[in-house]
Each structure stands twice: as C-alpha cells, then as structure tokens.
Structure 1
Amino acid sequence: MSETLDAWIDRQYRLSAVLMLRGVSPVHLVKERPGFGQSMRALKGAIVASPVLADWDPDPDYFFHWYRDSAIVVDALRLLHVSGDLGAEAKTHLADFVQFSLELNQLDGRTLVPGTTRRERAAPGFRKFLRDDDELAGIHGDAVVADTRVNPDGTLDISIWTRPQFDGAPLRALALLRWLRMSALDEALRADIARLLRADLEFTRRHWHEPSHDIWEEEFGHHYYTLRVSASALVQGAAWLDAIGDGAAAGACRKQGQLALDRLDDYWLQDDGYFRSRILPSGVRSAKDLDIAVVFAGIHAEPDAGPHSVLDPRLQSSLARLETLFGRLYAINRGRGEGPAMGRYEGDVYHSGGAYFFSTFAAAEFCFRAAAAGANGARAWFQRADAYLATMRDYIPSDGALSEQFDQTTGAQTSAKHLTWSYAACISCIVARRDAARALKAS
C-alpha cells in the first residue's frame, strides 16, 4: 500500500529535524578555501547554510553563517522544542547561538587591514574576489550585522559579496522574542538573549528606513520583506521593552515600527493585484516586482491578523498571482492544478532558476496559517496547503534530503545540497499544519 500524505508528512518532518541539525554547530567540519589561503573550523553556535563542503563545483560554497538563514533555523529549533520533538539540546543550541552572535558583534575589520597578508596568501586568480582594505576597514559596529554573512569560525568574510543587508537583525530579534516567551529558560541565558535582542532592536530602529539589498542579495533598494520584518520586530520588541520597564526604549521602537508599517501600503499595486517586492532608487519598475519574498514576509512576521498578515486580502492576492505565474512558467506544474512548485520570481537564472523547496513550503505555510487564523473558507485553505506538500512529495527522496532547488523541468534537486533553510522551512510549515488542524477541529 502506498504511503498516505499524512504519513509522508510525519516522516518528512522527523527527517528534516535530524537533517537540519547537521548545519547547527558543525564543529567537526573544516572548510578549506585554498584559493583564498583559508582553512576554518566551525565554532559552537554557528549555523551554516549548508554543511556540504562544496566549492562551486557546480554546487555553491554555502559554508557561511548567514544572519537571515540562521535566524530562521533558530526559530525552527524553538518549534521543535515546543512540539516536544527536541529536548534540552534545543536550548543548548540556542545558548551557543546567542554567545556566537554576541561575539560576532565585536568584530572589527580595521584589525584585518594593518600589515595584512590576505592578498599574498590568496592564489593570483582569486585576488580579484577579495574585498579591498577600505571596505573591510568599514566593518565594525552596526556594519557587522549588515554584512550579510560571516565565516562559521567567527571571522569576517573577506570575499566580495552583496552588502549591506538589513533583514538579519530584525529576523533574529523576532526569533529571540519568541524564545523569551517560554518560561523554561534559565536567567543567565535570558540575560544574554536580552543583550543580543537590545542590540538587534537598536540596529533595526536605526536602519529600517535605509536602502539595502533584498532577501536574495541581488538588488539594492527598499524592500517589502525587510520593511515588514523590521516593523514586526520593532512593535513586538516595544512590548517586551515595556514589560521589562524600559518605557523610553519601548516608545522609540514603537514609533519607528509604526512608521515602517505605514510605509508598507506604498508597495501595493492595485491594478496588478499584488504587493511589489521592492522599490528601486531609480523609481523604475523591477522585473522582480512579483516575488515570493512578500509571502515570506507574511509568515516570518507576526501577528497572523490585520494588515500585511496572512489574513490581508492583498497578500492573499499576491500569493494567487505567484501561483499563476509559476504554474505557467514551470514544466513540472503543467496539468498539476493546485499546489504548484514555487520559485522566487520570473526570470530567475540562479542554478536551475527554481523551483525552490523553501518557496513551496512558504506558500503552504501561508495557507495553513490562514486556515488556523480563521480565514474565510478555512478548510479550503488547508486543502490548498496540502496540495503544495503533495507536489513536493513527488520530488523528495525517501531519505528526506532537501537541496535548495528542484529543477523546474525535470524535478531533479539542484544547487546547494542539504540546505539548512529548506529543512527549517519544512519544520515550520508542518507545525503550522498541526496548528491549522487543531483550529479546524475546534471550529
């Protein structure tokens, strides 16, 4: 007898929980980058985007601690813990992550510049990929968390990459706020979390209104996703600051959070029926306006009600436009109906150009959360979400392995293998499914 969808979902959840942990504190891994003259061992608390030691051969080198990805994974650890599927180990990983992050905040690129031998150590063909001294010297203070990613041994990334990016701090703040709502954290850990959380809220309050690079690290401008998670972090952070008696800081965060929320309406395109993902400095419309990033904004921020939530008809319309887009673009979606494999945006050329596991899980999670929050036609939302999971079941092997992408024509897994974010997205989606099932049963 073939496996039912419910049975497959339960099994994939368990496998994802195990496989995600391979990217958390992978202290046994040593990454050699001979072209840069580097050898590094991951530290406790580091979360790598992929534990597979690739070198663009053809899989990308993702042995980095991204601020964005790591925050998403830390939140998935919380979900595993709350669900009873990961015990004290989850809190140990949290404590290590917080310490690692606090130490990252002390990094100073100016110490790398005097008497540096970076260029001498690098192979001649790789020197063109090195950041220049002036750029590195500017990486201190707020610029550290804006630097997109660091090495998992706790050092600055010396290679040219897309920077700055401002979504890491608010995402981490949201994850930490959710952890703090749990009572079973010891006081020393709570104090460390509070230090890191204050730093992230201050960073977000100072920088939310500035242009940066988008969630995909491609275009410089103002971005719906970054704005949405920043607004949520500031508003939720203000409530926490009020609760601990810091009214002045709470007021400052609340004011800036409301300003950020007010600006989100500027992204709505009435005639097109979706939230544009970005506003570029030139004012010219981007080819990436219709982007799954707005769906991620709906599930990574909170609450699940009100404007810019999963119950906002405009975000729901944006998801519908994306379903239509990818249903048309991807050969694997032809004749499928509901639950198409989802990508990022039209014209994506990164590796196979999609589909992406985390995008398809995000669309499913959006639907599950809408069902749990009492959207009209809640049962239909649940069935729509399950259709996405049924699609992914067709392309996920029995061992549960999730790469970054599954090819839009063949369905073969491509790009980074064992993407930690893919496993985190699976976990949060399936937890949302459980929440939705309970809500429907109670209704």
Structure 2
Amino acid sequence: MYIPIPLLRPQPDASLSLAAIPAMLLARLLTLLPFFTLPLPITSLSLAGPRQASVDSFVASESSIALAGVLANIGPDGAKCEGAASGVVLASPSTTSPDYDYEWIRDASLVNKLLIDRYTQGRDGSLQGTIESWISSMAIIQQVPNPSGNVSTGGLGEPKFNPDMTAFTGAWGRPQRDGPALRAIAMMTYASYKLGQGNTSYVQDVLWPSISLDLGYVAQNWNQTGFDLWEELDGSSFFTILSQFRALHQAAPFASQYEDSGTASAWAEQAGNILCFLQSFWDSSASYALANINLASTRSGLDANTVLASIHAFDPEAGCDAATFQPCSDKALANHKAVVDSFRGLYGLNSQYGPDQAVAIGRYQEDVYYNGNPWYLATLAAAEQLYASLYTWASQSSLTVTATSEPFFAQFLSSVAPGTYSASTSEYATITAGAKSMADGFVAIVQQYIGPAGGLSEQFDKSSGAPTSAVDLTWSYASFLTMADARAGLVPASWGASSATVPTGTCQPGPQPPMVQLTFVEDAKTTYGQNVFLTGSISQLSDWSTTDAVALSSASYPDWQVTVSVPAGATFQYKFIKVENGEVTWESDPNREYTAPSSGSATVNDTWR
C-alpha cells in the first residue's frame, strides 16, 4: 500500500542531558503533606502496597492542583502564560532548558478534550469561556502559513506555534499528523453537546468549518508518514493512526449533515482503510503493538505511545474490542504488560518493586532525552488504562481471558486460564482487585515523586526521583485529571467505536498525493571510480538507504544531476553521498531540508560540503 517509508536521520539530533538535583525523601514528604485533605502518615507512601486511603486522598487533593495547573498555562489570563493570546494552551512556562513556551496542537487538543468532557458532563460550568476561546484561536491558527505549508498545502500538519499564534519557523520534526485529528475529535465532542442543547448555528458557523478542514487533511494525508508524538521518528505512528481513524469514524453523523454525500462517503471509506492499516502494527510473535512502522529503526517498538493511543480511543460502549484497541481488549492488555515490563529493570528507582507491581514508566526503553527518565504522563497513562478496563468489566459484569491476554491476567491470578469469568466468580474478584491495586500503584509512584506544592513536571529522575525537564507541563496535569476521572468511573462520551468493522480483503492504500518533478544538481569533485548518490527521508529518496540511493549523472561534471518525482508540498531532508567500491562518504552535517512546490517543477542546486 502507499506509505512512503522513511528512515531515521543518519545523524540524529543530539540528546540533552541534565543532571537532576538530588532531593531528600523527607523534604519531599514535608513539602507534600500540607496539600492532603486527610492526615497522611509517612508510612502510607510505601509503594509496595499503597493504602487505599492514601491514594484516595492524594487523588482528591492533587486533582484541584492539576486543574489549576492546566488553567495557569492557558492565555490570556493564565497565571503562568504572560503574553499568550486568548485560548492558546502553552505546553509549559519553561522558556529555557528546555524551551516549551509554545502551543503544540496535539497537547492543546488533548487538554481541551479533557476540559470539554468536564464541561459537557456538567462538572464545571466555568470552563465554557476557556473552551470557546481555544476554538476561536484554532480557527485563526489553521489559516497561518507556516513551514509545513498553508491551510490547503499541508500547513495543518504543523506541530507548534508561538504564544502569539504566529508561525514557529525554526527547524523541527514536521509534519506531525496527529494534531488535526485530535483537534477535530475535541471539537466534535463539543459539537455533539451543542447540538444536544439546540445550538445548531454555533456548530454550523463556528465549529464545523474548522472540523471540516482537519478531517479533510486527515482523509487526504493519513497514508503519508510524519513525525511521531515524541517528535523524533518520521514514519507511521500507532498513536497517530488510531487518532486519525477515530476522527474520521466519529465524523460520520456530522458529515452526513454538513458535507455533500461524496465527501461523507470518501471519509467513511478512508476510515475503513485506516482501521485496516492499524491492524498491521500488531506484532503477534511478541504480543504487543509496534509504536512506529515504515521506518528504519533499531528500537524494540515498545513505547508508551501505544498505551496513550488506547486510553485516548476509549469508548465506554465499545466493550473490549481489539480492532480499535480498547483498553480492556486482549491486545491492549498484552501490550500494557509488555510496555510496563520493558521499564522494570531500566530505572534505578524501579528496583524497589516486585515483578508484578507497578513501576515508573517512561516513553520507551531506548530514550536518552534528558538522560532517559520516567514521565509523569506515561506512568499515569498506565494507571488510566487499567481503570478504564475495570470500568468496562464492571459494566459488562464479566471479563474474558484469551491466549493473548493470559500473561497479563496471570499477574493477578497465576492459575488463570482462557475463558470468561462473570462478576460473581472468585477469579473475577481476585483479578479486578489485583488490577485495581496495580493501577493505584502507578498513581502512588507519582504521589511519591511529585514536585513541590503538587507540581507536575515532564519527567522525574530515574535514580533520585527528583522532578526534571520542563516544569508545570500542561499535558502532565491533564493526564492526572483524565486518570482521576477514569478511576472515579467518569468516562467520556461514546464516539461510535462499537460500529467500527475492519474491511475484509486487502487493505486499500488511500488517496495518492500529486507529484512534482525536482531536479537535483550537486557540484562535487570526485576521484576516478567515485560516484555521487542522493538519499533522504522520503521513499522517493530511498529512505536514507546507502545501498539503494538515487544515482546522479556526471554528464555535466563537476555538476552531478538527477530528476526525481516527489509528493507535491512535501518537506523532507536529504544528503549527498560519494560511493567507491562500496565505501560510503557522507557530506558534512547538517541534513539538508527542502519543501517541494505544490505544482510544476523545480531545480535544487547544492555544492558538496
């Protein structure tokens, strides 16, 4: 099927390393104690068996802190986002080491989906203005020309913007194709509420124009690669693909009302194609979902990416459906165990936990960013998936064990065998109690290593547990709140996942992008026997391969030349190499970058360096 197959940049970005400042455990406890609504004895922080009351009181007290943390980072009135435009959601107030003083479309959309759920469920009426300011700001940002293009040439895939809603023009991993899908999901959730209130004009005049743009982008571009949610790998990301499927599937009732029949039918067709493609991420031999495919990578594929994908696709009416990777599906549970187990021996602070207990979770085991630490949002996501599973099992009064999920359930009942266990059985009671205890264990880890005054940074040090990287990360706070909701059984509205079916037969490739002709001319002096080749980050440039690189002609030496068809509007990286008798010489850093025109042809002139 048509999926450009890029590979990793030959010279990956240098990873940051920041020495965490050790913090005494007693000092951390004393900082935390004033914020608990119930007396909290120090012994209750033992993570081997956290007391129910301790976790209950922590969730209750931290929830208000987390909501305040989210709102403090939303412009224009947030306490920690001075200068941010109305509705803009800053990732963090941190401006140096690292600089997160931007609005990421992914982060902002996930945050506003949380706020929309709270508002539409009648839990916080004060959020309406915040939500609608964000919706208005997104309509502006969609129209801002940026390095990924404009609104009609790929600009919707731009990952982040400045606090004043102007384009960020620095080098970055772009495009990132999850943003439009997540933004559409949040806005469609709000649209459903508005329609239920009879406010059709707001949906038609304000919401739908933005939603339609994003859905059109998803339908047209889902089968093209882009950077993952960690902004590091250029390929096909499980998190992105599942989000794209949800967006187009959730759109069906809206499309039939607000779009012509041809568009509605095309979106439905692409939703089926995406769901079909999603199944190819499953590694049946290892029993987990690969986080990224269609790229050259030495990583295992075990990544919190897939756990996050599952919780953000949770549909309380879809049961334990495996095709849509519902949290309690056998595949999602097997994946949960595989991801969690990959971190057990990775961090020094995880040595205190037993083989079937919760541990601190990071992004992926090969991570080196800030020396590769646990992340609060990843640890909370591991808890949230279990809480969502417990909700579904309770709703259907049973749980089912398959050969795929048996190792997951064996963590709580070693004698478990494949079969369905009703809520009246002792097996059900033992398993659900064990899953609840593990979920609370993840929360207790966050409880122990939380920052001063309940602050949630991006990461906590893998040895000392001290908070590190960006302070007051909005996504960390939002993750705490979605976890707390799942723990309390406050689930999001259904998005129709129960009606999704994987198309039979061969997966269809989806829409093909228009192509343009690029002529590359490289001024390069060579020795006898040397030849010049071109390779880069898209399939048309051989996905950084040196063995299958594109050969240039020396007919106009010292100018070497070749003409290649590439997707119109595509932004890609590339380099020239010299090859002699199999020996490869790369030109010097950095990688070159180019954005193809939207039509016609172009010549790219370079000189060997």
Q: Does TM, normalized by the shorter one, top 0.5?
A: yes
Matches within 5 A, 1:193-232: 193-232=207-246
CA displacement, residues 112-163 of structure 1 (integer Å, 9 cap, x when unaligned)? xxxxxxxxxxxxxxxxxxxxxxxx4844534222111111201100211111
Match of 1:7 among 35, 57, 68: 57
The residue type paired with residue 380 of structure 1 is: G
What secondary structure, in the 3-state scheme, does the structure 1 residue paired with 2:235 have? strand
Q: What is residue 51 of structure 1 aligned with on the other side?
A: 93
Answer yes or no: is the 8 Å Cα contact 1:139–1:147 preserved in 2.
Answer: no
Q: Does 1:323 align with 2:340?
A: yes
CA displacement, residues 284-328 of structure 1 (integer Å, 9 cap, x when unaligned)? 454151111011111112435312211221121111011111111
Moved more, 316-325 or 19-28: 19-28
CA gap 1:332/1:82 in 2 versus in 1, 3 angstroms: farther
Q: Does 1:342 align with 2:361?
A: yes
CA gap 1:277/1:431 in 2 versus in 1, 3 angstroms: same
Moved more, 308-317 or 318-327: 308-317
Corresponding pairs, count: 396
The residue type paired with residue 363 of structure 2 is: R
CA gap 1:402/1:28 in 2 versus in 1, 3 angstroms: closer
The residue type paired with residue 66 of structure 2 is: S
Q: What is residue 181 of structure 2 aligned with on the other side?
A: 170
- What TM-score does the superposition give when structure 2 sets the normalisation length? 0.62
Deviation for aligned residue 1:384: 2.2
Q: Does 1:69 align with 2:86?
A: no
Work out the CA distance in 1 between the residues paired with 2:298 and 2:125.
45
What secondary structure, in the 3-state scheme, does the structure 1 residue paired with 2:180 have? helix
What secondary structure, in the 3-state scheme, does the structure 2 residue paired with 1:41 have? coil
CA gap 1:346/1:144 in 2 versus in 1, 3 angstroms: same
The residue type paired with residue 465 of structure 2 is: G
Q: What is residue 129 of structure 2 aligned with on the other side?
A: 92
CA gap 1:246/1:406 in 2 versus in 1, 3 angstroms: same
Work out the CA distance in 2 between the residues paired with 1:272 and 1:352.
27
Q: Does 1:423 align with 2:477?
A: yes
CA displacement, residues 207-228 of structure 1 (integer Å, 9 cap, x when unaligned)? 1111111110001111111111
Moved more, 408-417 or 348-357: 348-357
Q: What is residue 248 of structure 1 aligned with on the other side?
A: 262
Deviation for aligned residue 1:11: 0.7
CA displacement, residues 63-105 of structure 1 (integer Å, 9 cap, x when unaligned)? 11101000011011123324555323x1111111111111112
Answer yes or no: is the 8 Å Cα contact 2:75–2:83 preserved in 1.
Answer: no
Work out the CA distance in 1 between the residues paired with 2:79 and 2:158.
23
The residue type paired with residue 175 of structure 1 is: A
Q: What is residue 124 of structure 1 aligned with on the other side?
A: none
Work out the CA distance in 1 between the residues paired with 2:189 and 2:258.
15
CA displacement, residues 253-282 of structure 1 (integer Å, 9 cap, x when unaligned)? 11101110111111111221111111134x
Q: What is residue 112 of structure 1 aligned with on the other side?
A: none
Answer yes or no: is the 8 Å Cα contact 1:23–1:420 preserved in 2.
Answer: yes
What secondary structure, in the 3-state scheme, does the structure 2 residue paired with 1:435 have? coil
Work out the CA distance in 1 between the residues paired with 2:198 and 2:133.
14
Match of 1:386 among 428, 440, 443: 440
Work out the CA distance in 2 between the residues paired with 1:192 and 1:279.
37
Work out the CA distance in 2 between the residues paired with 1:413 and 1:339.
19
Work out the CA distance in 2 between the residues paired with 1:227 and 1:429.
23
Work out the CA distance in 2 between the residues paired with 1:277 and 1:61.
26
Work out the CA distance in 2 between the residues paired with 1:309 and 1:432.
14
CA gap 1:432/1:150 in 2 versus in 1, 3 angstroms: same
Answer yes or no: is the 8 Å Cα contact 1:352–1:415 preserved in 2.
Answer: no
Q: What is residue 80 of structure 1 aligned with on the other side?
A: 118
Matches within 5 A, 1:41-440: 41-52=83-94, 54-56=95-97, 60-82=98-120, 84-88=122-126, 90-109=127-146, 136=147, 138-182=149-193, 183-184=196-197, 186-190=199-203, 191-242=205-256, 246-281=260-295, 284-303=296-315, 304-305=318-319, 306=321, 307=323, 308-337=325-354, 338-374=357-393, 375-376=399-400, 377-397=431-451, 399-435=453-489
Root-mean-square deviation (CA), in Å? 2.3
- Which structure has the bigger radius of gyration? 2
Work out the CA distance in 1 between the residues paired with 2:465 and 2:198.
43
Answer yes or no: is the 8 Å Cα contact 1:105–1:141 preserved in 2.
Answer: no
5+ residue gaps in structure 2?
A: 1-38, 42-53, 394-398, 401-430, 492-609
What secondary structure, in the 3-state scheme, does the structure 2 residue paired with 1:222 have? strand
Answer yes or no: is the 8 Å Cα contact 1:50–1:420 preserved in 2.
Answer: yes
What secondary structure, in the 3-state scheme, does the structure 1 residue paired with 2:135 have? helix
Answer yes or no: is the 8 Å Cα contact 1:404–1:418 preserved in 2.
Answer: yes
Answer yes or no: is the 8 Å Cα contact 2:120–2:190 preserved in 1.
Answer: no
Answer yes or no: is the 8 Å Cα contact 1:45–1:98 preserved in 2.
Answer: yes
CA displacement, residues 347-392 of structure 1 (integer Å, 9 cap, x when unaligned)? 2111141200110111111111111111454443333211111111
The residue type paired with residue 65 of structure 2 is: L
Work out the CA distance in 2 between the residues paired with 1:184 and 1:15.
31
Moved more, 187-196 or 409-418: 187-196
What secondary structure, in the 3-state scheme, does the structure 1 residue paired with 2:453 have? coil
Work out the CA distance in 2 between the residues paired with 1:302 and 1:177.
15
Answer yes or no: is the 8 Å Cα contact 1:46–1:100 preserved in 2.
Answer: yes
Answer yes or no: is the 8 Å Cα contact 2:71–2:78 preserved in 1.
Answer: no
Work out the CA distance in 2 between the residues paired with 1:27 and 1:5.
32
Deviation for aligned residue 1:20: 0.7
The residue type paired with residue 399 of structure 1 is: A
The residue type paired with residue 364 of structure 2 is: Y
Work out the CA distance in 2 between the residues paired with 1:25 and 1:297.
27
Moved more, 396-405 or 379-388: 379-388
Work out the CA distance in 1 between the residues paired with 2:201 and 2:490.
35
CA gap 1:436/1:86 in 2 versus in 1, 3 angstroms: closer
Answer yes or no: is the 8 Å Cα contact 2:387–2:486 preserved in 1.
Answer: yes
The residue type paired with residue 310 of structure 1 is: P
Deviation for aligned residue 1:245: 7.1
Deviation for aligned residue 1:184: 4.5
